[in-house]
């Protein structure tokens, strides 16, 4: 196989640099690992050797292959040792001034045909290249930790990057066993940009007192299928990493409301409560395991009231069948009797607004989130309003838990929890396509591989129905009056004519 880059240098011996050096050597390149601290380079080399030795011991590599890999990985003592490299990958501290200084020095050392790339996750590729004499030979090449396991790499074209450079980088990513996705030079590129809706909306929900951290995590895992809840994810990545990225993208987009950070993470970062690595974040950790409060206990209810379902409820027929299966007594009148538990299932609106608009007794009104098909979820979510009686709350909780499915009861919120988070994810992804950040296909591939979402944001929007997502957003905007929820033209137009969000005009 003709390797896209025969000689590769990796600058920075941290976890990211080690990972890139490992997969480049495995692809067949001669790889030179350099760090300003010589000891760091040697430790990184030993760490990669240990990985290969471990795979050998497990029978996943043979002796000949391990020997070949080791022969292709070297350390460099000084920058001058990298003069003959075809590709130099920078994986150092996220500071624009330091990166620019390094690349200016490198450009004066290497040949004119050498490709220089940065592994930055949030800085502008164009800004880093601005002081270079050959910006056409410069690009972004963003890997994710741990590099050998996270099989996606963003190939980012700066304003003056040669298309041929991106072609070669794309081919090399494939040779390293990774999936390349093409991105234009915009804040956060694809993965970090698309991921804004998950954590920031969850933080906003917490700030309104709708539910606690653990409840929100449980709901989003059990209703949507996320592997980690947003607060588990924050604790894993650590706020000293994730909060600056939130601020960076928000400020680079000139305070775009969709990306607004939260005072909650700013305060916790200031207090050093940054996550699992320090034993305390949104959860407390004991021996590396999170201490999680138990789920809400199901109330003991001896006698259930009859149930009346709003004619405007989303998935009303499914909801009525569910109630029948649970053994509820269902009222079919035009309005509820004075003793009935009143159920509403809005999209985007809060329970309070629906109760007022439909002239229902708020003391007996409970909301249920029916955005997803109940059969496809592991948890049901109910919402009270400020006037809901405790006996009605408990009756609803116990009724919907009758078949053993988990139930969470939260306080009133436009769009419950799942609707808010999912609609923001889909909306941000749609607007990225509108901006031309990347293709719809690359966006969904990057997010599923880079963030571990159960399905790409655009495919998720198609699954739920773009018109339903639009309804959630329009109603959230009405409830909160916040431009954060304004629908992207990409979503609005495709929703209006029934077109897939993954559709492109090309």
Residue in 444, 501, 439 with CA at minimum distance from that of residue 470: 501
Sign of CA pseudo-dihedral 50, 40, 147, 234 = positive
Which alpha helices (H) appear in 77-182, and where do they start and end?
96-107, 125-129, 163-175
Alpha-carbon Rg for the chain, nearest whole angstrom, is: 26
What are the backbone angles phi and psi of residue 59, rounded to the nearest 5°? Answer: 80, 10
Task: Please state at what angle helix 63-71 crosses helix 38-57, rounded to 10 degrees.
Answer: 170
> Which of 107, 154, 232, 331 is the catalytic position?
154
What are the backbone angles phi and psi of residue 347, rounded to the nearest 5°? Answer: -110, 110
- How far is it, in rounded angstroms, from Cα 158 to Cα 503? 26
> How many angstroms separate the Cα of 331 from the Cα of each of 170, 252, 313, 357, 365?
61, 54, 15, 20, 14
> Which of 86, 122, 142, 262 is the catalytic position?
142
> Which of 29, 192, 427, 430 is the catalytic position?
192
Question: Is 142 noted as a catalytic residue in this protein?
Answer: yes
Question: Is 154 noted as a catalytic residue in this protein?
Answer: yes
How many residues does this entry show for the chain?
A: 506
Q: Look at phi and psi of residue 95 and say left if phi exceeds 0, alpha if psi is from -120 to 50, else beta.
A: beta
> Which of 29, 41, 121, 184 is the catalytic position?
121
Q: In sequence order, what E strands does 241-398 have?
A: 284-286, 289-291, 307-309, 330-331, 341-344, 365-368, 379-383
Helix (H) / strand (E) element for 210: namely none
The answer, yes or no, to whether the previous bond of 214 is cis (omega within 30 of 0) is no
Q: Which residues contact 46 (CB under 8 A, 6 or more apart)?
A: none
- How far is it, in rounded angstroms, from Cα 115 to Cα 301? 69
**Residues annotated catalytic, as ranges:** 121, 142, 154, 192
């Amino acid at each position: 196989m003709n390797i896209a880059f025969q000689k590769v240098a990796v600058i920075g011996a941290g976890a990211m640099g080690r990972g890139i050096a490992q997969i480049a050597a495995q692809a067949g390149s001669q790889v030179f690992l350099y760090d300003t601290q010589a000891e760091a380079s040697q430790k990184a080399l030993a760490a990669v050797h240990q990985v290969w030795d471990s795979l050998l011991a497990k029978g996943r590599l043979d002796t000949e292959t391990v020997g070949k890999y080791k022969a292709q990985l070297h350390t460099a003592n000084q920058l001058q040792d990298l003069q003959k490299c075809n590709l130099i990958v920078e994986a150092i501290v996220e500071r624009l001034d330091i990166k620019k200084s390094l690349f200016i020095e490198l450009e004066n050392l290497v040949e004119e045909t050498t490709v220089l790339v940065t592994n930055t996750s949030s800085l502008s590729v164009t800004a880093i290249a601005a002081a270079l004499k050959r910006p056409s030979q410069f690009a972004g090449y963003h890997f994710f930790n741990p590099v050998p396991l996270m099989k996606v790499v963003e190939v980012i074209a700066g304003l003056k990057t040669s298309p041929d450079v991106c072609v070669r980088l794309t081919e090399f990513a494939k040779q390293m066993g990774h999936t390349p996705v093409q991105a234009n030079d915009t804040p956060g590129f694809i993965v970090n940009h698309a991921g804004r809706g998950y954590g920031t909306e969850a933080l906003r929900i917490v700030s309104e007192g709708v539910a606690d951290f653990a409840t929100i995590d449980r709901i989003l895992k059990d209703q949507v299928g996320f592997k980690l809840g947003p607060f588990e994810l924050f604790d894993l990545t650590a706020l000293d990493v994730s909060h600056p990225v939130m601020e960076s993208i928000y400020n680079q987009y000139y305070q775009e409301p969709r990306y607004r950070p939260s005072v909650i993470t700013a305060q916790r970062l200031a207090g050093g409560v940054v996550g699992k690595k320090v034993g305390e974040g949104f959860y407390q950790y004991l021996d590396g395991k999170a201490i999680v409060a138990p789920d809400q206990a199901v109330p003991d209810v001896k006698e259930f009231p009859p149930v009346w379902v709003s004619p405007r409820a989303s998935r009303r027929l499914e909801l009525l069948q569910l109630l029948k299966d649970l053994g509820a007594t269902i009222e079919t009148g035009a309005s509820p009797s004075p003793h009935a538990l009143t159920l509403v299932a809005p999209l985007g609106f809060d329970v309070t607004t629906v109760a007022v608009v439909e002239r229902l007794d708020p003391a007996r009104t409970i909301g249920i989130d029916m955005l997803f098909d109940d059969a496809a979820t592991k948890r049901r979510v109910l919402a009270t309003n400020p006037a809901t009686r405790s006996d009605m709350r408990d009756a609803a909780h116990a009724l919907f838990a009758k078949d053993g499915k988990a139930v969470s009861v939260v306080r009133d919120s436009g769009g419950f929890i799942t609707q808010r988070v999912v609609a923001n994810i889909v909306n941000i992804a749609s607007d990225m396509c509108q901006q031309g950040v990347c293709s719809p296909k690359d966006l969904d591939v990057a997010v599923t591989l880079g963030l571990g979402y159960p399905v790409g944001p655009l495919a998720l929007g198609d699954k739920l129905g773009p018109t339903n997502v639009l309804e959630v957003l329009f109603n959230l905007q009405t409830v909160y009056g916040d431009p954060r929820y304004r629908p992207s033209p990409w979503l609005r137009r495709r929703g209006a004519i029934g077109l897939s969000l993954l559709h492109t005009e090309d």
